[in-house]
Chains A and B, each alone.
Chain A
Amino acid sequence: MDREKLITMLHDMLLARAFEERAAEEYGRGNIAGFLHLYPGEEAVAVGVLHAAEPSDYIVSTYREHVHALVRGIPANSVMAELFGKKEGCCRGMGGSMHLFDRERRFMGGYAIVGETYPVATGIGYTIAMRDLPEAVICFFGDGAVNQGTFHESLNMAALWDLPVLFVCENNHYQIGTEIHRHSAVPEVYKRACGYHIPARKVDGMDVLAVHQATQEALTQIRNGTGPQFIEFETYRFRGHSMADPGSYRPRVEVKAYEKEDPITIAIAESLPVYPSSEQIAAAGPDSIDQLATHLDQAGHLSSETLAELKAGVAETVEAAVRFATESPEPSLADAQACLDCNRGMEVLI
């Protein structure tokens, strides 16, 4: 992989982290409301997968999708404005955090009903197959989502009809507060795909290069017309399930182990009754982002100045996005009606 691309990936991971931490702050200020599900800790998955995809591929995601949207190229301004519910948001303020869409970038939506993404993605795969194009659809979902009936039904049909679908499981080990061993009889998620003869593997989701490579291999197979592929990425979310969830059901040692923190500090933190603040989490020194930065550094690709420049750049992007979102006008009820009417008229909003 060339240096440019590696640096871009690092940039996107840093942007993802900065964007999400800022979204949490804006939620605290009341500028964002509803359910806000954040992605810190899981950046390597979205960045690795989406950098292996082509612009002509389609993406279907869940309610934890801000980062998928950003990496896909939806401007931070328009994602932040959507989180603020504003008219210049990518869905005109009608969708909000859990429902980001962008037709041009083939970002086919964030869905908040768990298990909804599989049939939608499989249907998109059907269109691609009918057109006989070298495209694919990437379907994101969590570990908790694989117990919905649609998972099995869609995998079966995708395999039966050789559809170009890449199923991507973001296994962060939790279905809100229920740990995977308590929600799944078979906690090795990828093994379930074998029941439908879908080639499947498990990959370290904290290592962005491994994620990228595995995705590239899978997409190459799919473009060869051999049908669906399945990858389970093992990852971890540093925050609670959503801003409404302190995540206090998780052993602190477990959280800290993923953050690779000093065990003594862990022991001290363990005695604190509260979930660590975003400052503490940020100070813990992250994970997959660190891994990539270290890799780049060792390969002689990254100087500390470049890293500092990247960080300053994403901070400015996020700052500008918040400014944009703040200044963007509010939509009206007539705008809401227009969004509905365009649906009815089979027309397209410009």
Chain B
Amino acid sequence: MAETAYWEAIRRAHDEEMANDKLVIAMGEDIGVAGGTYKATSGLYDKYGPERIIDTPISENSYTGIGIGASMTGMRPIIEIMSINFALLALDTLINAAAKIRYMSGGQIACPIVMRTPGGTAHQLAAQHSARLARMFMSTSGLRVVTPRGPLDAYGMLKSAVRSNDPVIIIEHEQMYNLKEDIPDEEFFRPLEGAEIVREGTDITLIGYNYSVHLCLQAAQRLEADGISAEVLDLRSLKPLDRETIRKSVEKTHRMLVAEEDEAPVGVGAEIISIVIEDCFYALDAQPVRIHAADVPVPYNAKLEKAAIPSADDVYQGALKVMGKI
């Protein structure tokens, strides 16, 4: 066991997968000589050379497409998009090609790319650098979308993603790269599917993914002080979604809240509540609540930014509302 930061976990997964298989390559802006904006590939350029750790020009759509072409013919590219906002420029090749090639070819040709990209707000990065967009990817057939909440999943899911034959989008978060957790020294893999109960409880289920799991955990602690036992469920994978684990938890607690950092109305929360209504409506003792960002692009101003995006306190207040305490 070693305490490992989120970025170190990603770096280790790259390193091991590249050592294991020569066909694994990584590409992205400033990932080589400069070591990556979030250091996720630091030191690997010296170890694996410019042909396997590729510094790309600012040409997101085309280098994603190049990754796709390479993956169709046997390579295992890990594409880093510096920020999810720039992934929008790669949507053509990602959604029109990567997500559909296996399908359109009648199952003949796989497209095993991995795209890693941080989504989410950080500190005043303003409207064009604060997008979240998870909802957009999870609405696309043919993609896998995973959202590691900490180093354990960041490492284990990247390793599984590299070995998966599906195109996998890994959504990281600007504010999680320095988050630390103990992870085993031995190699391990984490599944690309399946939600996880990260805190047991009996009165209400707080559902999150990626960064919002941490907001739920903080809220759960405060609720405990109020005598409310909250269960926290990390979705882990947004596509496919694990309906079973959601249902079981809601059948146990009879109340639920879902927290996302993205602006509603359309979003992860809407989908999760639909699932709950379809699968276990009669288990509910109270109306569900969605916690989400205000319906504006993220403002630059510091206080406004905070006001526009959900906090642990918002989750806490939302839970009290579900519990009928306010």
- Please report A residues at the B interface, Cβ cutoff 8 Å: 33-35, 82, 85-86, 91, 93-99, 111-115, 144-145, 147-149, 175-178, 182-184, 249, 330-333, 336-337, 339-340
Contacts and interface: CB of A to CB of B under 8 A. Distances in A.
Given A175-B57, A175-B58, A178-B29, A34 B128 contact: no
B281 interface: no
B286 interface: no
B277 interface: no
A336 B124 contact: no
A33 B302 contact: yes
A236 to B, nearest CB: 18
A340 B296 contact: yes
Nearest to B128: A112
B296 to A, nearest CB: 5
B58 A33 contact: no
A86 B297 CA distance: 17
A184 B296 CA distance: 37
B301 A249 contact: no
B125 A34 contact: yes
B57 A183 contact: yes
Contact of B307 (A115, A175, A182, A333): A333
B80 to A, nearest CB: 13
B302 A147 contact: no
A263 B31 CA distance: 32
A97 B128 CA distance: 12
B33 A147 contact: no
Contact of A177 (B30, B57, B127): B30
B222 interface: no
B249 interface: no
A149 B88 CA distance: 13
Contact of B125 (A35, A82, A113, A115): A35
B300 interface: yes
Contacts of B60: 148
Contacts of B304: 85, 93-94, 330-333, 336
10 contacts: A35-B126, A96-B124, A97-B126, A99-B127, A99-B128, A112-B129, A113-B89, A144-B58, A178-B57, A337-B296
Contacts of B300: 34, 82, 85, 91, 93-97, 99
A169 B124 CA distance: 28
Contact of A336 (B61, B62, B123, B296): B296
Contact of A115 (B33, B56, B58): B58
Of the candidates B34, B57, B60, B124, the one having the most CB atoms from chain A within 10 angstroms of its own CB is B57
Contacts of A149: 59, 61-62
Given A113-B85, A178-B30, A178-B33, A333 B308 contact: yes
B34 A249 contact: yes
